[in-house]
Amino acid sequence: MARMLSRDLPDIENILALNPRVKTHALLRSTAASKEEKKHWKRNSDRSCSSCEKLENNFDDIKHTTLSERGALREAMRCLKCADAPCQKSCPTNLDIKSFITSISNKNYYGAAKTIFSDNPLGLTCGMVCPTSDLCVGGCNLYASEEGPINIGGLQHFATEVFSAMGVPQMRNPALPSPDQMHKSFHTKIALIGCGPASISCASFLGRLGYDDITVFEKQKFIGGLSTSEIPQFRLPYNVVQFEIELMKDLGIKVVCEKKLSSDGMTLNSLKENGYEVVFIGIGLPEPNRHKIFEGLTMEEGFYTSKDFLPLVAKASKPGMCSCHSELPVLHGTVIVLGAGDTAFDCATSALRCGARRVFVVFRKGFTNIRAVPEEMELAREEKCEFLPFLSPREVIVKAGRIVSMEFCRTEQSKDGDWIEDEDQIVRLKADYIITAFGSVLSDPKVREAMTPIKFNRWGLPELDPETMQTSEPWVFAGGDIAGLANTTVESVNDGKQASWFIHKYIQSKHGFAVDSHPQLPLFYSPIDLVDISVEMAGLKFPNPFGLASAPPTTSTAMIRRAFQEGWAFALTKTFSLDKDLVTNVSPRIVRGTTSGHIFGPAQGSFLNIELISEKTAAYWCQSVTELKADFPNNILISSIMCSYNKADWTELSKMAEASGADALELNLSCPHGMGERGMGLACGQDPELVRNICRWVRQAVKIPFFAKLTPNVTNIVDIAMAAHEGGADGVTATNTVSGLMGLRADGTPWPAIGGAKRTTYGGVSGNAIRPIALRAVSAIARAIPGFPILATGGIDSAEVGLQFLQAGASVLQVCSAIQNQDFTLIEDYCTGLKALLYLQSIDELKDWDGQTPPTPCHQKGKTILKVSDLVGKTLPSFGPYLDERKRILAEYKLSSRNDNIVTESNVPRTFTPKKPIPAVQDVIARALMYIGAYGDLNIKEQVVALIDEDMCINCGKCYMVCNDSGYQAIKFDPETHLPTVTDSCTGCTLCLSVCPIINCIKMVSRTTPHVPKRGLPQAVDPVC
């Protein structure tokens, strides 16, 4: 019997074994079997697990907030970009959080980093260690929604880390005169004592202000202060601190190590004698707060303070911190950590990595009184640290020179809120080690004496003004822990930032200059900001290629004025007509699209509108254009006009618009709804002959450039563009909205629905949904009429997309829907993004990057991982018993490398120098056209196949499913490991890559065997094609 062609072959049937099928009946499985099955697929920790993961010498990133590019883009898209964003108000350094998240969502990672570093020179450090739940995240408006607040710290970490890999240095404010032309006040000698967050911040802002004789003195051999010595590697790697200090040094700031503040060394008076006119003290609180019951105890007996223990761990685990090749403290058995702050939990999690079997975190008060942020406590809990509240230390028991236990008494809170110790309730815990984390103090008499002549307050800290950070001596400022105000790294950074401005005011006042009472600290700058993105088109000079389309964002000229103030290079007026053609709009008329699924809020992939042209008169627009051109002579203003097919009307209106001072005209021949019924817009733009004639009429009437706005609602848009070109147009706008019906409700009524009758009409679809149509139109016109200016519009929502349109042949770019999703401030992101994209093309070391996206490392949960297949020669998924095996293999590897020498130097330069000319905008226009052609030009011999990175795979099976039901049944799916395997049947269709949720988990690689298409049946003769 002949095989049925419409049935799958047996080998395909085997592949389809796990393919989804419509459910026909309820499934039956015992609870016992379900519990056993669950263990196989479980990805999170089993709460009943009695054994702990071995963490010895494992200093890999453990932060919950860490994001891969995929995670960052999804999280940034979720952000509402709120007005007067409360998250920013909750940030000590006043980061413009809305703006940097906007840049991330647009894949402008340089723009995001620039925004972050402009307000916080330690933006990467703070992205990693900030207690965001108590700061910015605590103010997120999405707390009021069920999906919860934005992971702001993770986004900040991601953007600044990508920027650090770009190898771009910081530079002085380009607006400043050269150093030799600066007033002598900017050559004032300034000393900063302590190279921690407060000093780094203060020095960076002073350097940005133009001061060029700044020295930071550090008592240690290493730099970074507590960020280096007391925050563990798994939360804050040393290379992060090093990167930010190098950024500071880019401004000419000097760092001198092994120079400490002490009465027998460097003092405030000795600095003054050496010519330093201003001193900033940022030494932290260098001594531990040590309870009297621990007096006399030593490390040999098993006792550490946090200031003993954490620096030892840091020196042994932070590559590059020092060249001492220290080994980790060797712990065993049970460790008791005393304290309830962030430092206590850092000690607890670090103790596990030093060999401790069990760690108890013991504190005097209850869980509701813990000072540590929830993130810190949760990390310790996940690593199986135990928490013991309501216990106050009473006595340490030492036998044979070793700590063996500790005695506590129970604490209770009285009605008055005071905490009292109950001597009747005594608890004794066995312990091998005790680590105290009771905070820090300034107790060294030599340090205090060295700070003479400043005054101290009753807490033993310098007296200072909390607004100016100025001490009792006007020339001495302080910030960070030593100032007694900051409790976190980010607050220390802000202390330094605050002090920098008032140091500037102090110095300038000494030289007789008044400083603006409103602080104006310079932003972060780099060579990227110097890239020229101006462009010329039709004799017009555009400061940048981004402008406003003739659309709702230009409803009034007051709106255009605000847009110009924000930095938009050009704008088109809302289309206006002669008074005899005035319109009145219906409502509702602009609605969210359905093309992106059920997304509510910003990030709409499309809008549909049935809005007509402007309701305002031509006289209003002409007078306003005159006003705007007087105030913004360097911005391009284009009047968008519309008439019916009438020579007299087009002549009158175009002359009126030219007389108003408009730089150019746009002839709207494309409005897809309403106006066509009046013989205008689409009614004119779909006929090449009418377009040609209208362009000829306008060409005869005016001398300024004009552009015909084309409709995509035609068979061949190139024919219309050719007609405009033949009619004398200086260019075209491609394209207007696509005619569509956005959606119908369950009862059949449309949306938008007008009036009680709920009537609607076909409207114009705009936004990202029409981008492929617009790109095709732009590229097709550019190929057909080389050099013909094109104003592109249709789904331009980022610099990355703008670059695509430029490469497709556009000269300048019009934006509408993106502003409807957000606001006019987008222009800053677009400009920095385009500058970065152009600049990075000149860096040879970044040739593997895709725009601002670096190559994707092998990762799970956003964190870079070792490939288990490289260690043991096989791939293991990350769930159930396989996850346990992965952890065991990793633990053994980490343990075996415990005594390996830490690399202290890297041969990779921190900054990269452009080896090629940085392309101008004009250089990239039409660059992609050489790759676009007819189907017959494509090579059928060079085929590709899918390659899956099993270490990055999250085992979802999406590739398997799409290949089965939409492709070529070329992917097997293991029933036990859920690892997909590509077979020789792969035809390279790329559907699997298209639906894979993990960036670069699937790549298309060159096929190494001949591609023989499956024809279904043997061919009797050679095929025709």
- 385 CB burial (10 A radius; 0-12, 13-18, 19+): buried
Q: Are 657 and 591 in contact (CB under 8 A)?
A: no
Cα distance between residue 979 and residue 877, in whole Å? 7
Matching residue, tokens 């159930």: 880
- The residue from 79, 409, 671, 992 that is catalytic is 671
Query: What is each CA distance from 371 to 337, 701, 742, in whole angstroms?
Result: 15, 75, 52
Q: Are 152 and 87 in contact (CB under 8 A)?
A: yes
Cα distance between residue 648 and residue 645, in whole Å? 9
Buried-state track 523-543, b at ≥16 Cβ within 10 A, e below 16:
ebbbbbbebebebebbebebb
* 354 in catalytic set: no
For 427, how many CA atoms within 13 A lie in the half-sphere containing its CB?
16
Q: Are 815 and 544 in contact (CB under 8 A)?
A: no
CA 666 centroid distance within chain: 37
Q: Are 34 and 874 in contact (CB under 8 A)?
A: no
Angle between helices 197-209 and 238-249 (to 10 degrees): 30
Which of 853, 855, 861, 854 lies closest to 67, judged by CA? 861
Mind spelling out the 3-state secondary structure of 986-998? CCCCCHHHHHCCC
Which of 113, 119, 123 lies closest to 159, judged by CA? 113
SS3 of 603, please?
coil
Q: Are 609 and 595 in contact (CB under 8 A)?
A: no
First to last CA, the chain: 32
Is the preceding peptide bond at 735 cis, omega within 30 degrees of 0? yes
DSSP structure class, residue 769: G
Cα distance between residue 967 and residue 963, in whole Å? 4
Token pair listed for 245: 């200090």
Cα distance between residue 123 and residue 386, in whole Å? 33
DSSP structure class, residue 531: -
CA 156 centroid distance within chain: 6
Query: What is each CA distance from 840 to 531, 807, 935, in whole angstroms?
Result: 11, 16, 32
Q: Are 500 and 209 in contact (CB under 8 A)?
A: yes
Which of 828, 84, 120 lies closest to 523, judged by CA? 120
Element (H, E) at 820: helix 817-821
Matching residue, tokens 């999170």: 44
Cα distance between residue 574 and residue 553, in whole Å? 8
Matching residue, tokens 């676009």: 932
SS3 of 303, please?
strand
| Residue 183 one-letter amino acid | H
- 979 CB burial (10 A radius; 0-12, 13-18, 19+): middle
Longest dimension (CA), the chain: 109
Catalytic residues: 671
